[in-house]
Structure 1
Amino acid sequence: MSDVWKPSVTVAAVIERDGRFLLVEEETSDGIRFNQPAGHLDPNESLIQAVSRETMEETAHEFTPTALIGMYMSRYVSSRTNQQVTYLRFAFCGEVGRDLQLPLDTGILRTVWMTHEELLACESKHRSPLVMRCIDDYLAGQRSPLSTIYTHPSVIGEFRG
């Protein structure tokens, strides 16, 4: 086992329509929780590809990111393993597309649209304290252009040594 510390890199989509935010209700080791469509960065994909894929897998909706809301770090103690995990989350906002009518990812119970007030009222049921922070930053207008994120071609399989 390596002694090199590595945070878990995740992506999240903040999707707002008519004052409501698209969330997923999911089964976790801590019980049923609410989260943005979110998940881990996979090998051979960019952050932008990852957030589009995770949104599709968890909500069955197409998602096109338009801006980076922010980069966030948090630490979590797994109730399953009792080990600390540090997460590095990249949160994006963008345009939600059509519902592809696909089955939702394993562990996702349903999608739900919630207002800011509804989210505040159930904060103890959020998967992470970053759920509310990302939405608050989105509502505050925090945005960075996608051009601030660069993915070298070697990441997505175009490595030539």
Structure 2
Amino acid sequence: MSRFLPHVTVAAVVVDRERFLLIEERDRLGAAGAPTVFNQPAGHLESGESLIEAVHRETREESGWEIILDGYLGLYINTAPNGVVYHSHTFLARPVQRVTETLDEGIFGIDWYRPAQIETLEHAGRLRSPLVAKRIHDALEGRAYPLDLIRDLNHPQRAS
């Protein structure tokens, strides 16, 4: 029997004046020359870091923004077209300041989008995964939970 190992990721739904921060990136699953896709700042949890540390790091690396976390949107589980299962811990955040212009390789730009613009991207098939729209929908509905919902016994002082 094969061992099931989901990929643990984090994502930040960063909101500023009813606009959402999205990154434009190369579609890693698409064919060469495929159009870029849009996603929240997101990425894999690295060894030794807490979920909170990971979401701050990924947001800085992919968007250049420092953020303040306002809540935990939840655990989103999705199977990608390649069969990989992602467990994405998603946080609601607001921007503090842009701290760098240097972004991760494969990111072509960042910008702020209103819900109607994101819906247009969704209908055009330009969102990285169905999680992007679902996270925004949940944020708009006020579905965030307190950060102390996360109990990190490896990083108790950094769990919230």
Q: TM-score, normalised by structure 1?
A: 0.88
Q: Is the 8 A contact 1:46 1:155 kept in 2?
A: no
Aligned to 2:137: 136
Query: Which residue, 45, 68, 71 being the options, matches 2:72?
Result: 68
Aligned to 2:93: 94
Give the letter aligned to residue 8 of structure 1: H
Q: Which whole-Å CA distance do the structure 2 matches of 1:102 and 1:120 have between them?
A: 27
Shift in Å, 1:37: 0.5
Aligned to 2:117: 118
Structural mapping, 1:34-73, within 5 Å:
34-73=38-77
Q: 1:154 to 1:70 in 2, by over 3 A?
A: closer
Give the letter aligned to residue 107 of structure 2: I
Q: Which whole-Å CA distance do the structure 2 matches of 1:94 and 1:19 have between them?
A: 12
Q: Is the 8 A contact 2:22 2:41 kept in 1?
A: yes
Q: What SS does structure 2 have at the residue aligned with 1:130?
A: helix
How much is the aligned-residue C-alpha RMSD, in angstroms? 1.7
Shift in Å, 1:94: 1.7
Q: Structure 1: 5+ residue runs without aligned partners? A: 79-83, 157-161
Q: Which whole-Å CA distance do the structure 2 matches of 1:153 and 1:122 have between them?
A: 39
Aligned to 2:152: 151
Q: Structure 2: 5+ residue runs without aligned partners? A: none
Q: Which whole-Å CA distance do the structure 2 matches of 1:8 and 1:101 have between them?
A: 28
Q: Which whole-Å CA distance do the structure 1 matches of 2:95 and 2:80 have between them?
A: 29
Q: TM-score, normalised by structure 2?
A: 0.88
Percent identical pairs in the alignment equals 37
Greater share of residues in strand:
1
Shift in Å, 1:155: 9.4
Q: What SS does structure 1 have at the residue aligned with 2:24?
A: strand
Aligned to 1:11: 10
Shift in Å, 1:18: 1.3
* Consecutive aligned runs of 4 or more in structure 1 exceeding 2 Å deviation: 153-156
Q: Is the 8 A contact 1:44 1:155 kept in 2?
A: no
Shift in Å, 1:95: 2.5
